[in-house]
Structure 1
Amino acid sequence: MKTIIVNIFVVSAIFAVCESASAACGPNETVPQCEPCAVTCADRDKNICPEICIFNSQCYCRDEYLKKDGVCVPESEC
């Protein structure tokens, strides 16, 4: 029973950190659970992407957006 309570606390803490970090992100940014493969427009044509999830706690562009000149833009604007 003690283990279950500790696990619930840990999961709750992780969600709280992710939500507060997401609030500090810029426009079209979020904190994904795993680091994305393509981060900038220059990265989108690279085919190397790890098959594992590397835990993340930083802001990255939302799906279908990439960084261009420090701002998240739709991939179509790259």
Structure 2
Amino acid sequence: GLLLFDAHTKGIKPLNPYIPSKLSDYKGSGKAIWAFTEENSMMDQDSDIIRTHLEDFEHYIDGFKQIKMNVARFNSEK
């Protein structure tokens, strides 16, 4: 899997336009991608990845649960 962090642009730019190059490398692998995103950034709009807003600390556990389910599914397919 892959863990990504959005660039911090809040208060600097009106929109976070950045997309990490590793995202496209991993998307075709079928492995889980978890991104900590700024709200409404390009990565935050990608429904194919697990997303958690950088400042939503109380929802970090939800991302861990989704990764756990994805790993269990991946292991059962072997």
Which of these two proteins has the greater Rg computed from alpha carbons? Answer: 1
